[in-house]
Every structure is written in structure tokens, then in C-alpha cells.
A and B are shown apart, each in its own frame.
Chain A
């Protein structure tokens, strides 16, 4: 069991608010660094534990108040940091009877059963915490979390506890949950898993029993066993092996048949042939009561091969599940506008050409064309940049964009099948289908090998027929059996499964098959700046008070009050900063300013000037908050202003200036140093200004940095490096990195970056620890070594065994042992990778 994690670096002893600590403190709940001036604590077992923000404090208090403090003792990983509360409106929609009718199963007694997708489960204690918290709600009949798939089954009475209550309960303790559509693909996946496991089990249990039956022969009593018992045991072995051949090995045979129909010799063909030959020979030997039987070797081989493929499938499924979280971001309903009214319509009832209303804060579910004059949207899901983009009438807005401004009207262009959601799905499918280069090479070698072998066996059979006909068939069988390409077919899947598991444990999910080979030869690592080395959301850096009579707190409170209704990243940063300082926001008056054409209840009573700023009234005084030009618009004089992004002004003067910054990810610097110390060259490639990039490079001690790059230019730089013979990995988080990610030898997306980048990258880094790249390189090198060792062993073994069998030195027993041990050896070798 993994070690229990205690928050490290908490240099807080029983500190009062006045004490200063010189060492950096770490949040007890989520492990993030605590800003030095922040004094937030939670009483845990009489000790004051530091908190990094009000969110974590609220969650920690909820956990302790609920009597769940055991969570902190039991957990083996820190929690996800508590983000601001999600929109409540989202949850209300889930209480609609129509929603439940569509997504939940009705049980005979009136209760509903529903699948939930959970986020933030980091370890076993999280599972316990969530289950306990939900189960104690009245009306919840049962709540069970599947740790492997991170999905939960909820049985509840919606009249007693509505679904929104359940979701809220989960969020209160710091996690998130969404209703989950069990789509057909997921169903298939579960079936796939179940089927595979059953096949492995059957092969395994039969293997054990058949080998028990064969034990007397293993122990050298071959000559002493009476024919009667030998016959009995052989028949028993035969009967047991039949289910293995028909059921467990079925995928092998169908795969081989498919290959043959397509006129290619894949890996399944030699295996199927060997199995068929060995089985047929064994059956014949049992019936004719002479010759050798190979039931034990057959079952063992099938078991080992299926086992390796099972683990490989498990790793792939896990990667796919991690990626399918992208599905949850899409809303299932849209507001359709018709000639006389507007109504909320389910997604599958929308047709292309419908006019829809996109509310403030809503995510676009489909590609649309803008009808209103202007719209301010966030493309963070697609580009990773938090800066809103202004689109004009007639522009195409992609599915996945978020409405950061006022509500607007648009026309649906394409249905879901053509939008980015389905391209996500297709990318996920693709991730599961590919095979590594080395395995493809092994397949080709095996194909050639098999053809050669068949010819050779036939030749040997003919030769022996002339020399001593009685030995011809057994020798031919022995040659086929002993040369079984077990090692070849097992070499790569076993190594791949071991490597994937080892990497997944360290937080790197491999989604494309050929990653390991490229990683083994890695020489350079290029980093995107925003969102990869820095966090993706801006944080309030400083408040500069300009007008007399104002303090930082009042300026911040006023600014935050104005931004309460906006989803703009700067707005969120202001609100977050105000909440951190526990400022009371002044009440925003219901203003009587002119509203724009599309007035919407949810958008509030603010007049959102698209792209420039926000204007609102507090205590009778109108304020403007926004870019320099916007804030100054109503003023007569323009004085010299400090450098900042956002300004607060009233009717007479500029009041304050707010600067925002993108904070560096904790641990970036040591991680990069670690990479460099292990022989990897580190580069910075950014779309941000050269000055900013250079500054960051100096902070991180990186020599090579280039800013002001378009994605195309980034790609060109990578190509230039590749032309020099370097093998380049690229780490990014946004889809504007997508062409770059595709061009790099190895592309790694950040786990908390955009979902689309994760889908199109070769691997996803689920932890913020960039040092994992080094482990990945080491593991990749080891994996290649293991694969080559396995292949070398397989080759050597065949070079020795086949001539020996052809010359008649190999008895069937020895052939069987050889076949089994070579398979076993390959698998054991691959298991070394798991360390």
C-alpha cells in the first residue's frame, strides 16, 4: 500500500496571526504554496494548519465538521485545490424531470439510478470520503464509486434529495461530479474488459490443471506409467483444453483468419498455426495412443499471451477513460429561438440552421455563426489562452468556446456529428488502435519467419520420410512447436504493458503506441510558456492606488463588485483576490443604464461593453473598470498612468491600477534543472512577447528561449532542430500548440490543460511534476532494452532449437518445455519494467 502522505514543509507550529515564518508554507489540504502574507488556518487536532485560500479552508472545515477527519489520516495524495464554486444554474437543470427521464434509470419503487463521473479522486481515501458524504444525505439509497473507472452509481429518491443536492454535497468537500451518459462506447469497453478477463481466467485455470495432469511426465516417470493411466490423463487434458482453444484462444484465431483474408501475415497467424498444429497432433496422439501430447504447453502459452494482452488493454482503457473527461464539458441543452418565443431544447433536437441564444458563461455545444453584432468568447478549451476574443457578426464560432461576454444570438452550422466533440471521440478511438513501430517491425519479421518456417518444416518432413517414416511426423510437429513464435509475439506487448503501467504510476499516461521508442532517444525538450510552465489563469499581482482617499482594499472591493457577473479571466482573478483577503464587496446597484439589445436576466443589470470593460453603479456613483482607454473615456484629463492591465475610474479621476500576472508553476525551476542535469537540452518556445519569455528563461536558468512565435514558427523551429538530428519532445497545453505537438517527436500535454491538446498529444502529464519527463526517458530506454533482449532471446532460442528439433534431438517433451519457458522468460523480463 502506498505510504500515507503528510503535508510536508508545513513550518507552522502553534502560530498566531502575528508570527512570521521565514520558510515557505504549504497548504494542508491541497499542498500548494501559501502566499506569505496570507494567514488562514484550520484547527486540525488542536494544531493550526495553514490553508492556501478560502476555498481550501472551506473544504477542510467541511470535512472536519462532517466528522470525516480520517480522510486526512488515510489519504496518500494531497487533494485537488478547491476552485470557486461552479454555477448553480447548471445544477438546477439536472433536477428537471425531463433530464432524469433521459439519463436515469427508473427503479420499480420510484427511485432513480444514475451514473456520475467524478473528478478529483486522487487516492483511496477520496473514494471513502465521497461515498460517506453522499450516503448520509436522506433520500440516497446507495452510492458506490468504482475506483478504477472513477465513476459512481447513485441510487436515490429525487423527491427527497434532488440531484443538485448530491452534486453540491460532493462539491462541498472539494470534488466535482457530473451526470454521466453511459454511451455505447463505454458499454463496449466494459464488455471488452469482462470478456478478456474471463478468457484469461479460463486459460489460467485449465493451464494449472492440465499441468498437474502432466506432472508425472515432468518428474521423469515417463517410462513407468501404465498406458491405461496415461490414456485417462490425456483424455482429461484434452477435454479441458477444448474450452481454451474454442473460447480463450478465439480472438487469436479470428485475428489470424482476418489477417489471412487480408492477405497479410500478422502476429496472430503463426500463433494460431502453432496452436492448431500442436492441438491437432495432441488429439491425434490421444486417439491413436502413441506420440506426444502438448496440452500443457498450449494452455500455458495461451494463458501467457492473453495475460499480456489483457494488461495492455487495461492500460489503454485507463488512458482512454482519462481522456473521455472532455465529454463532460458540453452542455446538453440549448436555448432555441423561433419566430415568437424561445425555449430550452435538448441537444439532439437541434438542427442545422436553428437560431439559438448563447447565454453568458455558456459553453458552445455546436459550431455556430454569429448573428448578433459582436460576441466576446473564450477559446481556452481550444487554444489554452485565457484572453477573450472578440468576434464580429458573421464569424464562425467553434464548439467548445465559452461566452465570456453578454448573451448573443447565433445560427447553428453543424450538428454534433461534425463538431469538435466527435473529432474528440475519433481521436480517442485512434489512440487505442495503433501499434508501436518496434512491434510492427517484429510483425514483419515474424511473417517472413513463419513463411520460412513452414517451408522448412515441410522440407524436414519430407527428408525424414525417406530416412525413417515413423519419425517424420513427430519431428515435424516438434519443429513447429519448439519454434513457436511465442517469444516474438509476447516480446513487445509484455514490455509495453509493463512500461505503460510504470509510467502511469508516475503520472504520465501514454496514449500513442510509439512514444516509448522516441522517448528513449530524446535529446531536447521544448516547453510552451503559458499554461505549461506558468499557470493558465491570471492572478492579481498588485493594486496601485492613484486617487487620494482610496486604499488598496477599497479599490479591490469595488473592482471585484463590478466584476461579479463576468466570466472574464481578469474578473475571476479580481474576485479570487478579494475573496482571499475576505473583503466585503459593496453592493452593486440595479442600474438604470441603457442595456444592449439582448437583455437577459442571467447577465444581470450590468452594461457589458464588449472587450473594453465594465460600467456599474455603486452607492450612487458610476464606476468604470477596464482597459486604459475605457476607464479614461469619461474623463476630461488624461494623466500619466502606471503600466497595468486594468484601471478603475469614477466620473472624475482614475482611482487605481490593477496588474495581473501568470504565476509560475511551483516546481518548474527545479524540474528544468533536473532535466538539464540529465543531459536533456531545455528550450522555451512561446507566443508571448520576447521580453516576457526572456525574463522567464532567466528565472528558470534556461539558455534557449524564443518569444513572439506563431504556432507555425514554433513548428519551424522544431523542424530545424530535427534536421540537426535532435529528437525533440514538446510540452504544451493548448490546441494552438496542436500543429507543434504533432510535429514534435514526442508530444506531451499537461493534464490540467485543454482537453483537446490532451487528445491530440502522444502522452498526458497528469501531475504538475515536470521531472517525470526524466523518469519517462529512463523507463523508455529500459523498455527498448527489454524489448531487444526479448527479441534477441527469441532469435537465439530459435537458432538453437530448430536445428536440434530438425535433427531429431528434441523429444516432444523437451519441445513443450522449450515453448513454455521461452514465453515465461519473456514475460518475466518485461516485469522488470514495473519496478
Chain B
């Protein structure tokens, strides 16, 4: 159970890391379009060149 003294703080670090990553992605415009990427996946680009 003593491992909790390591694991819990590690969890905290992880969460803060996740938040930092999210904010960075948001600043890069990752979440500006919430519809397009979902539909884009279904569209192939099979045009003959």
C-alpha cells in the first residue's frame, strides 16, 4: 500500500501533463473544427491523376 505514496503524486503529474498538452493542442487550433475531421475520414481520394 505504500506504493500509493508514489502512485498518487504520479497521477497528479499525469493529469497536469494532460491538461498542458490539451491547452497546447487547443492553441494550435486542433479543436477549432469539431465536425470536419469526423466526416473527412469517410471521404476517399481515388481520383485518377
Contacts and interface: CB of A to CB of B under 8 A. Distances in A.
Interface of A: 1, 67-68, 70, 74, 123-125, 127-128, 132, 145-149, 190, 193-194, 197-198, 201-202, 205-206, 209, 213, 229, 232-233, 236, 239-240, 243
A206 B15 contact: yes
Interface string B14-36: 01001100110011000111111
Give the top 6 A-B pairs by smallest Cβ distance, nearest first: A124-B39, A147-B36, A146-B33, A128-B43, A67-B47, A147-B35
Contacts of A147: 33, 35-36, 39
21 contacts: A70-B43, A70-B44, A70-B46, A74-B42, A124-B36, A124-B43, A128-B43, A146-B32, A190-B32, A194-B27, A197-B26, A201-B19, A201-B22, A205-B15, A205-B18, A209-B11, A209-B15, A213-B8, A233-B8, A236-B9, A239-B12
B43 A202 contact: no
A148 B44 contact: no
B16 to A, nearest CB: 8
A148 B33 contact: yes
Nearest to A202: B19
Nearest to A153: B29
Contacts of B46: 70
A148 B12 contact: no
A148 B4 contact: no
Nearest to A124: B39
A486 B11 CA distance: 29
Nearest to A247: B19
B39 to A, nearest CB: 3
A74 B47 CA distance: 14
B12 A240 contact: yes
B27 to A, nearest CB: 7
B47 A127 contact: no
A149 B33 contact: yes
Measured as residues with beta carbon below 8 angstroms from the partner, the interface class of chain B is 20 to 34
B45 A236 contact: no
Chain A interface main SS type: helix
A197 B43 CA distance: 27
Contacts of A74: 42-43
Given A67-B48, A206-B15, A236-B12, A1 B42 contact: yes
A187 to B, nearest CB: 12
A194 B44 contact: no
Contacts of A198: 22-23, 26
A67 B35 CA distance: 26
A148 B34 contact: yes
Contacts of B19: 201-202, 205, 243
Contacts of B43: 70, 74, 124-125, 128
Given A201-B22, A206-B15, A229-B4, A124 B42 contact: yes
Contact of A240 (B4, B15, B27, B33): B15
Contact of B8 (A123, A128, A232): A232
A190 B8 CA distance: 36
Chain B interface main SS type: helix
A116 to B, nearest CB: 15
B32 A68 contact: no
A132 B47 contact: yes
B21 to A, nearest CB: 10
A149 B34 CA distance: 10
A229 to B, nearest CB: 6
A330 B31 CA distance: 31
A626 B14 CA distance: 78
Nearest to B9: A236
A28 B29 CA distance: 37
Given A132-B47, A198-B22, A205-B22, 5 more contacts: A124-B43, A127-B40, A145-B36, A148-B34, A201-B19
Contacts of A190: 32
B32 A194 contact: yes
B4 to A, nearest CB: 6
Nearest to A125: B43
A128 B43 CA distance: 7
Contacts of B44: 70
A729 to B, nearest CB: 30
Contacts of B11: 209, 236
A584 B4 CA distance: 86
A232 B8 CA distance: 8
B8 A148 contact: no
B26 A194 contact: yes
A239 B32 CA distance: 30
A229 B42 contact: no
A353 B7 CA distance: 74
A148 B35 contact: yes
Nearest to B45: A132
Contacts of A149: 32-33
Contacts of B39: 1, 123-124, 127, 147
A540 to B, nearest CB: 39
B32 to A, nearest CB: 6
A236 B8 contact: yes
Contacts of B48: 67
B36 A148 contact: yes
Contacts of A67: 47-48
Nearest to B18: A205
B1 A229 contact: yes
Nearest to A229: B4
Contacts of A229: 1, 4
Contacts of B42: 1, 74, 124
Nearest to A212: B11
A124 B40 contact: yes
A751 B35 CA distance: 22
Contacts of B4: 229, 232
A209 B10 CA distance: 12
B1 A194 contact: no
A213 B11 CA distance: 10
A157 B10 CA distance: 50
Of listed B5, B9, B43, residue having the most chain A CB within 10 A: B43
A148 B32 contact: yes
Contact of B36 (A68, A125, A127, A197): A127
Nearest to A128: B43
A193 B32 contact: yes
A147 B22 CA distance: 22
A70 B18 CA distance: 39
Contacts of B47: 67-68, 70, 132
B31 A197 contact: yes
B6 to A, nearest CB: 11
Contacts of B33: 146-149
Contacts of A201: 19, 22
Contacts of A236: 8-9, 11-12
A209 B11 CA distance: 9
Contacts of A233: 8
A652 to B, nearest CB: 59
